[in-house]
Amino acid sequence: MDLKHHCIKLNDGHFIPVLGFGTYAPEEVPKSKAEEATKLAIDAGFRHIDSAHLYENEKEIGQAIRSKIADGIVKREDIFYTSKLWLTFLRPELVQPALEKSLKKLQLDYVDLYIIHFPMALKPGEEMIPKDEHGKVIFDTVDLCATWEALEKCKDLGLTKSIGVSNFNRRQLEMILNKPGLKYKPVCNQVECHPYLKQSKLLDFCKSKDIVLVAYSALGSHREKKWVDQSSPVLLDDPVLSALAKKHKRTPALIALRYQLQRGVVVLVKSYNEKRIKENMQVFEFQLTSEDMKVLDGLNQNVRYNSVAFAADHPDYPFSEEY
């Protein structure tokens, strides 16, 4: 990892900035906040922006990126933008139209990274999470290798620079890696990862295959009721994180972010608050010692904040678990 230039080389030759700006916010937060926050993040120095069809904010994120390009603050090639293929579009014939729909909302010609959001297909249609009359989620049966081939085509067409996956476990990654005729390997696997869920086995596996692990909920998530069990421990209140923050004259959030960078993990962080957006950029200004890293390694307790409860009936649930 070239921390000096804050980038890491992907297995397809493109570069990904090691710190990414997360843009998911709960439904009640006005979408205009996503635009405001993304502009603040670009001003603060973030160059990697993470969104998804699911977040319903791509129009606003696109506006933010294009306005910073128009102002001469950045060029398109300075920005690394990730979008995600939602689960109702996993049938191969729906992949390219789904990406084109995102591009239209963004008003961009290409995304830098397009990833399969979860290794699980839902019934195609207008509903984000289709349910039957009993409120049960309606899954779809799709061969993820065929979905992957459709992503490869999107890369060949230049609609995305790189392709990857999210919330895949080792078995699901191997299924793609062992696909006959594989043209491109996934460049990344984006999964929940923080000191309470280190994902060390998955990280070792990804490193062995030159796949970058991208950490989400690195601060212990937004703790939104819809996705997160409210009785789960609050990561940023952890006394070990607080002690290390005191030692380094930083904050627990910065310790949690720096921890990932020093493990060779690309880390996402969401904030819509100007002070915290700026604070999070300080992750490049200090270093943890190997002793600090060991102490942080000891915090693992397999706490998974994002329950993705709607998927609980799926045979592969929970996704990307330690194995």
Ligand X SMILES: NC(=O)c1ccc[n+]([C@@H]2O[C@H](COP(=O)([O-])OP(=O)(O)OC[C@H]3O[C@@H](n4cnc5c(N)ncnc54)[C@H](OP(=O)(O)O)[C@@H]3O)[C@@H](O)[C@H]2O)c1
* 222 is a site residue for ligand X (CB under 6 A): yes
> What is the C-alpha to C-alpha distance for residues 183 and 179, in angstroms, rounded to an integer?
9
Q: Name which position in 8, 16, 24, 281 contacts ligand X (CB under 6 A).
A: 24
> What is the C-alpha to C-alpha distance for residues 21 and 137, in angstroms, rounded to an integer?
30
3-state secondary structure the chain: CECCCCEEECCCCCEEECEEEECCCCCCCCCHHHHHHHHHHHHHCCCEEECCHHHCCHHHHHHHHHHHHHCCCCCHHHCEEEEEECHHHCCHHHHHHHHHHHHHHHCCCCEEEEEECCCCCECCCCCCCCECCCCCECECCCCHHHHHHHHHHHHHCCCEEEEEEECCCHHHHHHHHCCCCCCCCCCEEEEECECCECCHHHHHHHHHCCCEEEEECCCCCCCCCCCECCCCCCHHHCHHHHHHHHHHCCCHHHHHHHHHHHCCCEEEEECCCHHHHHHHHHHHCCCCCHHHHHHHHCCCCCCCCECCHHHCCCCCCCCCCCC
> What is the C-alpha to C-alpha distance for residues 177 and 172, in angstroms, rounded to an integer?
9
**What minimum distance in Å lies between the beta carbon of 69 and ligand X?**
21
Concerning whether 196 is annotated as a catalytic residue, the answer is no
Q: Name which position in 253, 283, 296, 311 contacts ligand X (CB under 6 A).
A: 253
Instruction: Please work out the total of residues on this chain that contact ligand X, with binding judged by CB under 6 A.
Output: 28
Site string for ligand X, 254-283 (x = CB under 6 A): --------------xxxxxx--x--xx---
Nearer to ligand X, 156 or 233 (CB): 233
* 50 is a site residue for ligand X (CB under 6 A): yes
Q: Is 48 annotated as a binding residue?
A: no
Nearer to ligand X, 71 or 309 (CB): 309
Kindly identify the residues of this chain, within the stretch 278-307, that bind ligand X according to CB under 6 A: 279-280, 306
Site string for ligand X, 160-199 (x = CB under 6 A): ------xx----------------------x---------
**What minimum distance in Å lies between the beta carbon of 134 and ligand X?**
26
**What minimum distance in Å lies between the beta carbon of 270 and ligand X?**
3
**What minimum distance in Å lies between the beta carbon of 79 and ligand X?**
15
* 31 is a site residue for ligand X (CB under 6 A): no
Nearer to ligand X, 200 or 273 (CB): 273
**What minimum distance in Å lies between the beta carbon of 167 and ligand X?**
5
Which is the catalytic residue, given 55, 216, 272, 305?
55
Nearer to ligand X, 262 or 307 (CB): 307
Nearer to ligand X, 155 or 250 (CB): 250
Nearer to ligand X, 209 or 223 (CB): 223
Using CA of residue 263, residue 264, residue 269, residue 275, what is the dihedral sign? Answer: positive
Catalytic residue numbers read 55
Binding residues for substrate: 117
Chain residues that interact with ligand X, rule: CB under 6 A: 22-24, 50, 117, 166-167, 190, 216-222, 236, 251, 253, 268-273, 276, 279-280, 306
